[in-house]
């Protein structure tokens, strides 16, 4: 036998044993870094997203729109870092968010929603108004990181953020239940009318906030939203924005007669909300018929008629966002059809360097859900695939 061939044979037998030994040693040490690495390695979509959109310092860049960063993007990066059990990246994202969007005082201050290149060529905050969805996804991710990683230092910041949102972005005293404003400024119409964005209220998230902060306005906001849902979704589709009044009235928003990039998340959240989603799913079932008719979710829908606005293109993220919705409705054949189309469109977009941040966020949510990488229990707690599940409570 050739000596070099014999050495190669021995080496091939040795390497698997060596790898097994290393794995056993790491497991015995209980290294969270190893767990995070293995978890992240298994989620290729997250790996690619993080590599393409998140800098080493924790800044998530939306390359599609002037390389801007937003509090929404940072909050989603926190959430998916937690789902991937990637604490090192979580801390990087959290640090950048606090330093650059909240003057290094996140929790004591709400983060600015928009950071980017300013008119003078410098980089920094372009709009200091906050965005309630980014604020609440950040708070949710911090509170759940504290629980899942046994890291109470995150909880203090998360609770401070909840208090800031309650003080600055919630309208109390509205008939039917409190209202979450999209931001502290710009969404009040006089003293008695307000603009409301349904996608800013994921039912599972507000169920969770009501559990961890029972004295807060969260269940009142959720109850009001659920009570008003029949009027909000009167045409069987979700709007981007509606107008509410203090007496409980619901009106279409005159500036947004069509629904699109905000509304698509309403279907996503309904499909993920085990406890509160079923009622909304039935109200929104006509949207599934639009998907069946078009083959994919329409990019734009007329909220007055419930009909799709003719378009020759649908974002791949919309297809991904519809997957939990269709699964929850029992439309699995249609879901598989949409998923197959989505996977083809994504592959083409990445190959042509045309993938964009928002589409890929919706993919992480929608496809991640279908792949069972995470769930939310009846109290809205996160159940990542890597974690031991909490006892029912």
Torsion, CA 307, CA 229, CA 138, CA 354, rounded to 10: -10
CB-based contact 239:301 (threshold 8 Å): no
- How far is 330 from 349, CA to CA, in rounded Å? 29
**SS3 of 287, please?**
helix
Contact 142, 154 (CB under 8 A): yes
Edge-first strand listing for the sheet containing 69-70? 69-70, 114-117, 123-127
Active site residues: 72, 133
Taking the CA atoms of 235, 178, 247 and 245 in sequence, report the sign of the dihedral they define. negative
Q: Where are the alpha helices (DSSP H) in the chain?
A: 3-29, 32-42, 44-53, 71-83, 87-101, 132-148, 153-168, 203-212, 218-232, 264-272, 277-283, 285-294, 316-328, 332-351, 357-370
Is 195:262 a contact under the CB 8 Å cutoff? no
Please provide residue 245's backbone torsions phi and psi, each rounded to the nearest 5 degrees: -125, 165
Nearest to 295, CA basis, from 258, 259, 344? 344
- Whole-angstrom distance, CA of residue 79 vs CA of residue 382: 10
Separation between Cα atoms, residue 8 and residue 15, nearest integer Å:
10
Other CB atoms within 10 A of residue 326 CB: 26
Alpha carbons 182 and 131: distance in angstroms, whole number:
6
């Amino acid at each position: 036998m050739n000596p070099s061939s014999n050495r190669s044979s021995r080496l091939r037998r040795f390497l698997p044993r060596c790898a097994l030994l290393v794995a056993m040693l790491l497991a015995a040490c209980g290294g969270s870094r190893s767990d995070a690495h293995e978890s992240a390695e298994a989620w290729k979509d997250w790996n690619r997203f993080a590599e393409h959109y998140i800098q080493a310092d924790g800044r998530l860049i939306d390359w599609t729109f002037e390389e801007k960063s937003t509090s929404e993007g940072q909050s989603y990066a926190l959430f998916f870092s937690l789902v991937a059990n990637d604490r090192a990246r979580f801390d990087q994202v959290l640090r950048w968010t606090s330093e650059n969007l909240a003057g290094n005082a996140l929790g004591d201050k709400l983060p600015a929603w928009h950071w980017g290149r300013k008119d003078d060529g410098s980089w920094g905050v372009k709009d200091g108004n906050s965005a309630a969805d980014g604020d609440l996804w950040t708070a949710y991710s911090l509170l759940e990181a504290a629980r899942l990683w046994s890291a109470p230092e995150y909880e203090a910041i998360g609770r401070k953020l909840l208090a800031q949102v309650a003080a600055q972005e919630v309208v109390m005293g509205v008939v039917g239940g409190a209202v979450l404003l999209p931001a502290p400024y710009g969404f009040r119409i006089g003293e008695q009318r307000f603009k409301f964005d349904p996608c800013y209220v994921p039912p599972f998230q507000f169920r969770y906030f009501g559990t961890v902060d029972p004295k807060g306005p969260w269940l009142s906001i959720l109850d009001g939203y659920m009570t008003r849902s029949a009027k909000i979704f009167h045409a069987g589709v979700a709007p981007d924005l509606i107008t509410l009044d203090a007496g409980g009235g619901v009106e279409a928003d005159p500036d947004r007669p069509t629904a699109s990039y905000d509304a698509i998340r309403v279907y996503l959240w309904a499909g993920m909300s085990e406890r509160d989603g079923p009622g909304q799913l039935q109200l929104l079932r006509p949207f599934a018929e639009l998907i069946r008719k078009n083959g994919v979710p329409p990019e734009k829908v007329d909220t007055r008629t419930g009909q799709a606005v003719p378009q020759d293109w649908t974002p791949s993220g919309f297809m991904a966002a519809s997957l939990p919705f269709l699964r929850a409705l029992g439309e699995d054949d249609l879901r598989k059809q949409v998923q197959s189309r989505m996977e083809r469109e994504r592959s083409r977009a990445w190959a042509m360097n045309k993938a964009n941040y928002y589409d890929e966020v919706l993919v992480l949510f929608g496809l991640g859900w279908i792949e069972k990488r995470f769930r939310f229990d009846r109290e809205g707690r996160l159940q990542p695939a890597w974690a031991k599940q909490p006892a029912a409570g």
